[in-house]
Amino acid sequence: MYKQLYGTLTEEDADTFSTQISELHSSNYKVLSIIKEQFYAVKSNVELYNNTFFNINKEKILLNEIFGKIENQLKNMNELIMDIELEQLVEQQIILFNLMISQVLFEVDLLGEIVTAAQGGVIHASVLTPKDILEQLKKIENDIPKHQRLPVPLDIIGAHTLLSIADVVCIYKNKTLIFLIRIPLIDNYEFTLYNLIPLPVSGNNDPFHMYINPKMDYLAISKDYKNYISYRTEELNKCRQTPNYKLCAGGQAIYNRHERTVCEVKLLLEPVEIPKTCHVRHITLVENIFHKLKFKNAWIYSVSRENIILDCEEAKASMKINLTGTGIISIREDCRIFTSDSVLIPIKHLSTNRNIDIVPWSKIPKT
């Protein structure tokens, strides 16, 4: 039987890994490569804890020797010099015993931290350091299948990133704490991700507003606009975030826009008129809309008519601005916007990459 601390793993898998780890433990190798399963077993520095307890046993033998000397000294208590030597031996024993207790407590606390971290799917740094990961990645780099590569560069920063995006499974079997790290590989497909935001617009003196209802929440499209992937919000939330990009599993279908055309892709090509495949809805705008952009201190707005007040810390007086129709308004970190029913507050110290917004200027047909 095995105890699963974190992740998903069958008992058969646990037996397989336990056998392979036993083989590694009995060998003189640091890494055991099983190419057929693309599995690598790595000895961890946690073996040093076993050496610690081995040293404690040696110190226990030394303590027994000191006890023997004390026993012999007790038989010669008549002379003063013997009393002094006895006192020194007792002090040595107390110091050594305190060191042993401190060492055991440290190792027990560290083992507890390792198990606690494992229950949260985290590998403790004392078990496997980023430097260890980097060393092993360099060894297995040549075994990676063609047309695939590691999602991070082979450096210390990349090793730290890899630990945050890898899947970790932790089990306890045969007095061994086993960590299974699934490292994702990426292919040569690279897409730009767009968040599709329907924006109501109106014609001149038209009380009704129109907007295009998207079939997806997000659209990922290749640089040449030939291939695309559609995502719902819940699907995109399963992707892993790295400092530079999102890493998504390959379960989503990749479509060719020439074989399967959709409204959202056609709009990126900025046609003169809205494609017939687009679903246009007509509404009456009851209240004003202000939609915050995620990576900017900017709001998309759609209003019939709105008087807003711009208040900035460095300005001597507030500024009154009249808004009509649809557009985007941006403000500095030290400013606020007061609308008739809300306050728009920017995010301070916002760090972001350059994100280019695309607003199609295609004409929406009136019905």
CA distances from 367 to 138, 198, 203, 209, 210 (A): 62, 19, 12, 12, 10
The Cα–Cα gap between 109 and 19 comes to: 28
Mean pLDDT estimate for the chain: 76
Tokens 């590694």 locate to 24
Task: State mean pLDDT over 249-255.
Answer: 84
Q: What is the pTM of this model?
A: 0.65
pLDDT at 137 (0 to 100): 82
The Cα–Cα gap between 230 and 218 comes to: 6
**What confidence tens digit (pLDDT) does each residue in 325-354 have?**
888 899 988 899 999 888 999 987 666 555
Tokens 């208040």 locate to 311
Of 61-70, 118-127, 305-314, the range with the lowest mean pLDDT is 61-70
Task: State mean pLDDT over 243-247.
Answer: 83
Instruction: Kindly indicate the confidence band of residue 255, based on its pLDDT and cuts at 50, 70 and 90.
Output: very high
Tokens 């590569």 locate to 149
Q: Which amino acid is at 215?
A: K
Which is higher by pLDDT, 130 or 77? 130
Contact 130, 164 (CB under 8 A): no
Strands 167-173 and 176-182: antiparallel
Q: Percent of the chain at pLDDT above 90?
A: 12
The Cα–Cα gap between 213 and 197 comes to: 9
The Cα–Cα gap between 243 and 191 comes to: 16
CA distances from 86 to 15, 62, 98, 133 (A): 55, 16, 19, 52
Tokens 């601390």 locate to 5
Three-state DSSP at 94 gives helix
Contact 52, 109 (CB under 8 A): no
Contact 68, 59 (CB under 8 A): no
Task: State mean pLDDT over 238-249.
Answer: 84
Contact 180, 17 (CB under 8 A): yes
**What confidence tens digit (pLDDT) does each residue in 194-230 have?**
999 888 887 665 667 888 899 999 999 998 889 999 9
Please check the confidence at residue 269 and state whether its pLDDT lies above 80. Answer: yes
The residues, any chain, with a CB within 8 Å of residue 261's CB and separated by 6 or more, are: 275, 277
